[in-house]
Amino acid sequence: MRGIFGLQRFWCLRSSAEAFVLHASLLNRALNVSEVAVVIIGSYDNPYARASRYLERVKMIYEGVDCSFPSTEYFHDDVYSFFIFCFHIKDWLKSDTRLNISSSDVEAYIKDHIELQLCADICNGTKHFIQTPGRVRTGEQPMVYRSNATITTYPLGSGITPSGAAFKSSFGINTNGEVVDVLALGNKCMELWSLFLEEYGVVVGSRESYI
pLDDT averaged over consecutive 10-residue blocks of the chain (211 residues)? 33 39 42 50 72 95 86 88 94 86 95 94 75 66 82 80 85 88 96 94 69 49
Domain spans, the chain: 45-200
Alpha-carbon distances, residue 13 vs 19, 37, 194, 202, 205 (angstroms):
11, 16, 9, 10, 6
The predicted pLDDT at position 79 comes to 94
Tell me what pLDDT residue 162 has: 82
- pLDDT of 40 reads 62
The reported pLDDT for the residue numbered 71 is 79
Residues forming beta bridges with residue 144, ordered by sequence position = 173
Contact yes or no for 19/209 (Cβ under 8 A):
no
What is the pLDDT, as a whole number, of residue 129?
58
Q: Is the pTM of this model over 0.85?
A: no
